[in-house]
């Protein structure tokens, strides 16, 4: 927000209190700024995913143009070198080249539209981050929560629900539905025991996978070889290995030798070392590896953002008491679903112990001190005073049923 400066000496004394009050009204609190700054640090994936998708589209369009132009130039050079080409042949030849170039033009126009849409998505996200302000923090956080929910739904394959939420909230440019749809096509194919879409994805991302030293394409080739062996197509399997597996021999010889041995052991083998290669869970493993490579290429977190944010909060709440039978229902970790999320997290570090009354669930401190029953159980003074008034000075321990007089209680001191 820009505020016009006041020339020296132009402000009256009566204006100053009003100006100060206005400034106090519009000035965000430091805590809001701190929270906002911390929130923006977590938005790396939010910007990187559309940017990586944008770069991938540009590279794909460049490859198409380079391939088609190279083919046209080669064809023109070939035609120019021919001395005996008739006029009709020349006209036909150049008409085919024109048709090919027109097709290239259509592809480039379509690719340009796709690039513009993805560039717009990147701009929309930058504008969204720039719009984050302490004055509209509640609205901005609400939008972020919807983005996180859409991310979770897409990762869990609830595509229709994710699309409806994004459309109703008008956040289509702030979520990555098209990126996850690309992943879904490959995952569905692998779950149906189809390799081709995954290999096509590897071809499109060959340079990135090579840079990260990925074994995913090699694992796909091994699985395709195993399927040929399973179908008793040994000669085809050998030809396939010579063409697609041999180039990997220098770096993955042990895996290659193990798989090649299946030609002798067959799919019906009981030998555990080779039997596992024919099990259906190998396809599930390929799906898991694909998810990891996909997230790595686009700079995504492997876990859903919702889980990460929940775990960040649960890490501050997790204590040994949360896993006891008498854990209060108000504690999120009393629920099994939250306990599962918090399972890999360490216990929170408590610098100062806090005593909470079992009866009232209120904090026990100097104003509400803890008192000890003769049986050793501790409750707050307020709870025991109320119980004594209602029961003619008698105290009944709610956990053991022990009964005593109020005068028998002892005050506990917290150091």
Q: What is the pLDDT of residues 46-78, one digit of tens each?
A: 888 888 888 888 988 888 888 888 888 888 888
Of the pLDDT bands very low, low, confident and very high (cuts 50, 70, 90), residue 34 is low
For residues 117 and 276, give the distance between their C-alpha atoms in angstroms, rounded to a whole number.
46
Residue 392 lies in a domain: yes
Residue 131 lies in a domain: yes
Residue 56 lies in a domain: yes
- The pLDDT score that the predictor gives to residue 133 is 79
Same-domain check for residues 333 and 283: no
**Domain span at residue 144?**
42-77+88-175
Instruction: Note the pTM of the prediction, 2 decimals.
Output: 0.68
For residue range 396-410, list pLDDT tens digits in order. 999 999 999 999 999
For residue range 306-338, list pLDDT tens digits in order. 998 888 888 888 888 788 877 777 788 888 888
Same-domain check for residues 278 and 289: yes
Asked whether 128 and 39 are in contact (CB, 8 A), the reply is: no
Same-domain check for residues 53 and 151: yes
Same-domain check for residues 166 and 230: no
Q: Return mean pLDDT, the chain.
A: 84
Residue ending a domain, choose from 159, 175, 191: 175
Strands 378-380, 394-396: pairing kind: unpaired
Q: Phi and psi at residue 395, in whole multiples of 5°?
A: -115, 130
Same-domain check for residues 280 and 328: no
CATH number reported for the structural domain that contains residue 400 in this entry: 3.30.40.10
Same-domain check for residues 55 and 167: yes
For residues 338 and 368, give the distance between their C-alpha atoms in angstroms, rounded to a whole number.
31
Same-domain check for residues 247 and 189: yes
Counted domains in the chain: 4
- The pLDDT score that the predictor gives to residue 267 is 85
For residues 144 and 42, give the distance between their C-alpha atoms in angstroms, rounded to a whole number.
11
For residues 110 and 103, give the distance between their C-alpha atoms in angstroms, rounded to a whole number.
11
The total of other beta-carbon atoms located within 10 Å of residue 223's CB is 19
Q: Helix, strand, coil % (nearest 5) of the chain? A: 65, 5, 30
Of the pLDDT bands very low, low, confident and very high (cuts 50, 70, 90), residue 219 is very high
Q: What is the mean pLDDT of residues 287-308?
A: 92
Q: What is the mean pLDDT of residues 171-187?
A: 93
Whether 149 has a pLDDT exceeding 80, the answer reads yes
């Amino acid at each position: 927000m820009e505020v016009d400066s006041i020339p020296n000496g132009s402000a009256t004394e009566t204006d100053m209190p009003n100006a100060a009050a206005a400034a106090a009204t519009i000035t965000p609190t430091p805590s809001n700024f701190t929270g906002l700054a911390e929130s923006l640090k977590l938005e790396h994936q939010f910007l990187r995913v559309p940017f990586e998708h944008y770069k991938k589209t540009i590279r794909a369009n460049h490859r198409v143009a380079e391939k088609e132009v190279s083919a046209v130039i080669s064809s023109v050079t070939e035609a120019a070198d021919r001395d005996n080409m008739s006029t009709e042949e020349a006209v036909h030849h150049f008409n085919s080249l024109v048709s090919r170039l027109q097709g290239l033009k259509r592809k480039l126009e379509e690719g340009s539209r796709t690039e513009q849409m993805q560039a717009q998505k990147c701009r929309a996200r930058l504008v969204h981050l720039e719009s984050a302000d302490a004055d509209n923090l509640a609205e901005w956080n609400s939008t972020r929560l919807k983005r996180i929910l859409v991310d979770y739904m897409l990762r869990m394959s609830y595509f229709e629900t994710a699309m409806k939420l994004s459309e109703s909230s008008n956040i289509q440019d702030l979520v990555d539905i098209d990126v996850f749809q690309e992943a879904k096509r490959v995952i569905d194919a692998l779950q149906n025991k189809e390799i081709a879409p995954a290999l096509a994805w590897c071809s499109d991302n060959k340079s990135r996978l090579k840079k990260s030293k990925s074994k995913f394409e090699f694992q796909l080739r091994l699985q395709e070889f195993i399927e040929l062996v399973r179908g008793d197509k040994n000669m085809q399997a050998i030809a396939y290995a010579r063409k697609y597996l041999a180039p990997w021999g220098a770096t993955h010889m042990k895996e290659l030798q193990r798989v090649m041995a299946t030609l002798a052991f067959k799919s019906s083998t009981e030998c555990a070392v080779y039997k596992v290669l024919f099990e259906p869970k190998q396809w599930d493993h390929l799906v898991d590896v694909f998810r990891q490579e996909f997230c790595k290429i686009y700079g995504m977190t492997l876990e859903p953002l919702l889980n990460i944010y929940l775990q960040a909060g649960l890490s501050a709440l997790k204590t040994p008491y949360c896993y006891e039978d008498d854990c209060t229902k108000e504690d999120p970790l009393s629920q099994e679903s939250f306990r599962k999320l918090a399972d890999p997290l360490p216990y929170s570090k408590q610098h100062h112990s806090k005593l909470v009354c079992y009866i009232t669930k209120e904090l026990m401190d100097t104003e509400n001190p803890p008192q000890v029953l003769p049986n050793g159980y501790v409750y707050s003074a307020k709870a025991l005073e109320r119980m004594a008034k209602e029961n003619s000075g008698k105290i009944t321990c709610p956990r053991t049923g022990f009964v005593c007089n109020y005068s028998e209680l002892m005050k506990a001191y917290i150091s």
